[in-house]
Amino acid sequence: MPIEAAQASYAGFEIAVILPCYNEEAAIAEVVAGFRKVLPQAKVYVYDNNSKDRTSERAAAAGAIVRSETLQGKGNVVRRMFADVDADIYLMCDGDITYDAASAPALIAKLVDDNLDMVVGCRIDTQQEAYRAGHRFGNALFTGAVASLFGNRFTDILSGYRVFSRRYVKSFPALSNGFEIETELTVHALQLRMPIGELDTPYGARLEGSTSKLSTYRDGFKILMMITKLFKNERPLFFFSIIFALLSLTALGLSVPLLVTYFQTGLVPRLPTAVLAASIMLLAFLSLTSGLVLDTVTHGRRELKRLAYLTIPSVGAQLGKRN
């Protein structure tokens, strides 16, 4: 889409570019300048997360509104940004220049034209060193896991390049602390069945002097734990039914030899095994009961989240009032 046509579609909207940053002095000035060039009407916010370098100074010199968040971790920064910044449309991006600022007008135009609540910039790497093999595999693994558990509507759940409507931002609870925030953002939209979209965007390498803050194994484990936690919280009946099935099969496996012996001899010679099997089966039904109760609670909580989400006008409704 030509940039002039894209700009016309969201003219009149208040746009905020929000950039979480930690030790990005090598790239942040160029990132800010890039967004100020393609989105001249937007306010660019840089949230410094305890940087040890000159990230704040360089961001301010480039024309950004600089604020700080002392709680370490990207999730903490996103929670603060969503709470503090007031706008109609939010564009979130990392401050490491790996994402393409020139794609911003097309992302925002898609949000407005299709009346969506979130548009994800799917990363198309333009340089071999941009996307490490471990990260590529992990992204595919986690995207597949989320698709299986919550719905197959995304192809890049870990992208940090996203555009949100106001009603998405102000209804998002933001419970994550670190890089697992992208997973939480994705599942929130899937569980509330929000209108969402994707758009391919170029993904490049970092500048010399800029290093990735993402640890392949440590943060990968945290993301996996977040997916498991969200699975338990958002689909408790399914989660605890799996535990029920595993415990039931274990109990049955232990009890079958005992039953064979009992029918042959009328005796139960291995009483401790019988007690263990009975105890495991009780735990299995306790797990199933927990799933049934929590499923009712989750359903009510999801209804409240949906009602809170609906209290805020959509982008389409705001556009209609402007016209």
Q: What is the pLDDT of residues 291-313, one digit of tens each?
A: 999 999 999 999 999 998 999 99
pLDDT band at 199 (very low <50, low <70, confident <90, very high): very high
Please tell me the predicted confidence (pLDDT) of residue 287: 96
Q: Are residues 118 and 229 in the same domain?
A: yes
C-beta of residue 255 within 8 angstroms of C-beta of residue 274: yes
Residues 107 and 142 both lie in one domain? yes
Q: Which domain holds residue 260?
A: 236-310
133 or 85, which is more confident? 85
102 and 218, same structural domain? yes
Other CB atoms within 10 A of residue 225 CB: 12
Question: Average pLDDT, stretch 129-146?
Answer: 74
- Tokens 């198309």, located at residue: 124
pLDDT beyond 80 at 244:
yes
Which one-letter DSSP state was computed for residue 205? P
Q: Are strands 162-165 and 89-92 parallel, antiparallel or unpaired?
A: antiparallel
CA dihedral in degrees (22, 72, 180, 18; nearest 10)?
-50
Instruction: For the beta carbon of residue 276, count every other beta carbon within 10 angstroms.
Output: 15
pLDDT: which is higher, 80 or 262: 80
CA distance 269 to 237: 37
Q: Are residues 132 and 45 in the same domain?
A: yes
Number of domains in the chain: 2
Closest CA to 100 of 126, 134, 138: 126
**Is position 323 within any domain?**
no
Same domain? 122 vs 163: yes
Q: Which of 105-114, 133-142, 165-174 has the lowest mean pLDDT?
A: 133-142
**If pLDDT is split at 50, 70 and 90, which confidence band does 152 have?**
confident
Q: Does the structure show a pLDDT above 80 at 183?
A: yes
Single out the residue of 85, 83, 81, 49 nearest to residue 68, CA to CA. Answer: 49
Assess if residue 78 is contained within a domain.
Answer: yes
Q: How far apart are CA 101 and CA 19, in angstroms?
A: 12
Predicted TM-score (pTM) of this structure: 0.87
Same domain, 193 and 80: yes
Instruction: Give me the DSSP letters along 52-120.
Output: SSSHHHHHHHTT-EEEE--S-SHHHHHHHHHHH---SEEEE--SSS-B-GGGHHHHHHHHHHTT-SEEE
**Local confidence band at 2 (pLDDT 50, 70, 90 cut-offs):** low
What are the two backbone dihedrals, phi and then psi, of residue 178, each rounded to the nearest 5 degrees?
-120, -140
Are 192 and 254 in the same domain? no
Same domain flag for 183 and 36: yes
Q: Supply the CATH number for residue 36's domain.
A: 3.90.550.10
Residue 7 has pLDDT above 80, yes or no: no
204 in a structural domain: yes
Q: Within this chain, do residues 26 and 96 fall inside the same structural domain, yes or no?
A: yes
pLDDT, average across residues 125-149: 74
